[in-house]
Amino acid sequence: MSRFTIANLPRMEVTALSQELLALKSPDNSLAVIDVRDGDHIGGHIRGSRWVPSHQLDEWMPTLLRQLENTKTVVFHCALSKQRGPSAALRYIREREAKFGEDSVAAPEGTGTPGQQASAAAAAAAAQSEENHEQAQGHGTEKETAPVAQKVCVLRGGFQKWQESHGPDERLTEAYVKDLWEDY
């Protein structure tokens, strides 16, 4: 079972994301931004983001898992990052953990006391030992090993908050149409 919930899903501030994007000299695997808006994608998007409409997430999930396998930080967002963005992030986390194991996603901060964390680690080790035994016996499915413990988070305030600060900045935002966001 995943350690992540809506309550402890990490959030990234707009200013932190903009600083990280500006610090990138060229696209690399340190950061990916996934925009899960649907028809409301018009009016601009974060430069370099990938558009994966929420209603197509099921179709895109295997591709995202493969393409983002070595990415250090993955940031999901929708218009406000209240429903589609967090839901997509949680779905991605669960799929990544199922494919690569729980350690493939960096643990959310404040997930239990040290004793609870030790108990959870012991339970995970026992489950892994049982899984290894089943695999040795020819049962069960083999999990792939993820090369990096990925940080997965949601952009606080979504594109609405982003465009308030960075909409007109062409270094950070593409295809921005201010008029579409004035009364949003």
Range with lowest mean pLDDT among 48-52, 71-75, 129-133: 129-133
Q: For 117-163, what is each residue's pLDDT tens digit?
A: 443 444 344 444 444 444 445 555 556 666 789 999 999 999 999 99
Check pLDDT > 90 for residue 51: yes
* Residue from 76, 81, 121, 119 nearest 101 by CA: 121
Which CATH superfamily includes the segment(s) 11-109+147-181?
A: Rhodanese-like domain (3.40.250.10)
Annotated active-site residue 78? The verdict is: yes
pTM of the model as a whole: 0.80
Kindly state the tokens that stand for 38. 């649907």
Residue 33 confidence (pLDDT) above 80: yes
Among 131, 137, 17, 154, which Cα is nearest to 81's? 154
Domain regions of the chain by residue span: 11-109+147-181
Cα 80 from Cα 93, distance rounded (Å)? 20
Task: Output the CA–CA distances (angstroms, integers) from residue 115 to 102, 105, 124, in the order listed.
Answer: 18, 21, 14
Average pLDDT of the chain is: 84
> ∠ CA(95), CA(79), CA(17), 5° rounding?
75
Catalytic residue among 34, 75, 78, 152: 78
Q: What percent of the chain has pLDDT over 90?
A: 66
